[in-house]
Amino acid sequence: MPELPIIHPPHLHSHEELILVGFRLDARHDGPQFYTLLSVGGENERPLTADGHILFFTHPQLAAKALALDASLMSLGPPPEEMETFCDVAETLYRVNSQNTDPEGVILDCLLVFDDLVRATRLHMPDRYQGILTELAARLTEGLQLGKIFSSHALREHVEDALLWCVGAVTVKARIMTV
């Protein structure tokens, strides 16, 4: 009897789309200081890049100009007009350093964005930083409060060091468009 052909079901891809992400580094600043676009919902979530650099821009109106520099993301359509995610680095560092709660999920939002950004830098994150941030994200996803996660001030300092490493890695691999 001849063998029947094996029919593979179509591979189901998630719907990949662009989101606008705002960032704040300076706690004295109200709202986002700069932005980027992220591709989300696919197998390779990634930020806007060109020539090995992550592209950031100072005003949402520059999104289309920045998007034109990344052919792989440009194919996903026009840039969104509304900010979907806010990575508040200043607030994240404050909460990690001194708070016992994070009811709005500021830290987890920042960790998720940093994950995509750091991968895009292609720099090797030290294993101890990778481990501590992965563990923190897991605990926050489970709903644990900061007071229960941070059993010592030294642990807070290690998380702060890991976050600052991420900021530095992204900064050295960034290009900021102002006009």
Query: Token pair for residue 109?
Result: 């939002």
| pLDDT above 90 coverage of the chain, percent | 88
pLDDT tens-digit profile of 99-145? 999 999 999 999 999 999 999 999 999 999 999 999 999 999 999 99
pLDDT of residue 93: 98
| Residue-averaged pLDDT of the chain | 92
pLDDT of residue 170: 98
pLDDT tens-digit profile of 27-83? 999 999 999 999 999 888 999 999 999 999 999 999 999 999 999 999 999 999 999
SS3 letters for the chain?
CCCCCCCCCCCCCCCCEEEEEEEECCCCCCCCCEEEEEEECCCCCEECEECCEEEEECCHHHHHHHHCCCHHHHCCCCCCCCEEEEEEHHHHHHHHHHCCCCCCCHHHHHHHHHHHHHHHHCCCCCHHHHHHHHHHHHHHHCCCCHHHHCCCHHHHHHHHHHHHHHHHHHHHCEEEECC
pLDDT of residue 10: 46
User: Which residues are CB-neighbours of 48 under 8 A, at least 6 positions away?
Assistant: 36, 37, 38, 54, 55, 66, 67, 69, 70, 73
pLDDT of residue 60: 96
State pTM to two decimals: 0.88
Query: Token pair for residue 112?
Result: 């998720």
Residue 5 or residue 26, greater confidence = 26
CB 56 within 8 A of CB 175: yes
